[in-house]
Amino acid sequence: MVRLFRLAGATLVFLSMSFPRGAASADDVTALAAFDAAWSRRAEGAAGGAAAQSAVAPVVAAGRNAVAANPGSLPARWRLMRSLYFQGEHATAGTAAKRDVFEEGKRLGEETLERIRSDAGASAGKDLSKATPVDLVPYVKGKPDVVPCFLWASVNWGKWALVFGKTAAARQGAAAKIRDYATAVVRLDPSFDEGGGYRVLGRLHHQTPSIPFITGWASRTEALKNLRLAVEIAPRNFVNRLYLAEAIWDYEKEKRPEAKRMLEALVVDTPSTGLPVEDARAQEDARALLAAWGKG
């Protein structure tokens, strides 16, 4: 799935609210502060929706350093997953190179899930080693860093699936993984990241190929429902609007004029000062869709 999701910058106060094994030290705080500083500069030298590798590489390096400083730190882990998504989506060319970036992101997501299972199981006094993200919801409420971990794990899985091939990835269980992570985000915090969980779920239902006994649950009704919920939560979010318009065009032919108007409004809107690269890419994609629709 393309460019799924924005994340409002989390503050270092979350450090004291993470699982005990990831308790913050002075080194952790320093590493996270270095990451956040690098992240704030990620748009330097960007050309529209394409970021400059010279600005993005330090962000990823800072994320890796933060995880190395404290491997149990959930704030460090979701930051690195987010930076890998940004690197692969906005600063990497070529399928092979993108696969490498998103492979690292999804692997980090799965490792993080294992840590969350272990810590939640220890707190609950039960074996949660096989629990899905949805199963874990009752045990991780009040742990705010779990939500971005699940969201960015879903994003990296989604981007990996695109570059690997949607059908092949679905046969390997990618679609179900994305669904479970995003559903957990919705149940834990439906408004998080401007409706990020709904955005992922809606895009997943829209983009997932229907494969009997594997992805038969994918539904155009669910695609439209979840994307409308995302727009309801954050009506100015560029990606929410882009994805909903595309789904309407594909699934509700009688409403195609509405879909076109949505994208026409999007391409002349003013990007967020905090998301210049992300919003510019959404506008580029909207222009491309409008051009394609005009030929249809």
Phi, psi (rounded to 5 degrees) for 242: -60, -50
As a whole number of angstroms, the distance between CA 172 and CA 166 comes to: 10
Q: What is the dihedral of CA 72, 73, 76, 80, to 10 degrees?
A: 30
As a whole number of angstroms, the distance between CA 3 and CA 159 comes to: 8
Structural domain of 100: 12-295
Counting the structural domains of the chain, the total is 1
pLDDT at residue 6 tops 60: no
What are the distances in angstroms from CA 233 to CA 19, 110, 241, 283?
Answer: 29, 28, 11, 20
User: Which range (43-47, 214-218, 276-280) has the least confidence?
Assistant: 214-218
Encode pLDDT of 73-132 as tens digits. Answer: 999 999 999 999 999 999 999 999 999 999 999 999 999 999 999 999 999 999 999 999
- Mean confidence (pLDDT) of the chain: 91
Domain assignment present for 76: yes
Residues linked to residue 50 through DSSP beta bridges, in sequence order: 47
Domain assignment present for 6: no
User: Which range (26-30, 109-113, 133-137, 289-293) has the least confidence?
Assistant: 26-30
Domain assignment present for 67: yes
Domain assignment present for 3: no
138 CB neighbour count, 10 Å cutoff = 10
Domain assignment present for 1: no
Q: How confident is the model at residue 1 (pLDDT cuts 50, 70, 90)?
A: very low
CATH code at 55? Answer: 1.25.40.920
Q: Is this structure's pTM higher than 0.85?
A: yes
Which H/E stretch holds residue 228?
Answer: helix 220-233
**145 DSSP assignment:** T
